[in-house]
Amino acid sequence: MNNNDIEYCECKNSSAVYSQNDDFMWWDRCCDCNKVIEDSITYFNQSDEDY
C-alpha cells in the first residue's frame, strides 16, 4: 500500500469496517466509503534483523 495514495475515511460513525493486510501492515477499511480508517493502520512488529 502506497501511503501517498491513501484516502482516509471521514465518516463520523461508520457502520462497519473490514480488515485488510499486506506484508508490512494491516488496516481497517470503512464499509461505508471503502476508505482506510486512519487510526487503524498498524505496522507489523519490526524486528531488528536485517533482511
Q: What's the min distance (Å) between Cβ of 48 and Zn ion?
A: 36
Q: Of 32, 38, 39, 42, which lies in the binding site for Zn ion, with binding defined by CB under 5 A? A: 32
Work out whether 40 is an interface residue with Zn ion (CB under 5 A): no
Query: What distance in Å separates the CA atoms of residue 38 and residue 40, rounded to the nearest whole number?
Result: 5
Q: Of 18, 33, 39, 44, which lies in the binding site for Zn ion, with binding defined by CB under 5 A? A: 33
Q: Of 27, 28, 30, 36, which lies in the binding site for Zn ion, with binding defined by CB under 5 A? A: 30
Provide the residue type at 24 as one letter. F
Question: What residue has cell string 485488510?
Answer: 20
The residues with which 5 forms a beta bridge, in sequence order, are none
Provide the residue type at 30 as one letter. C
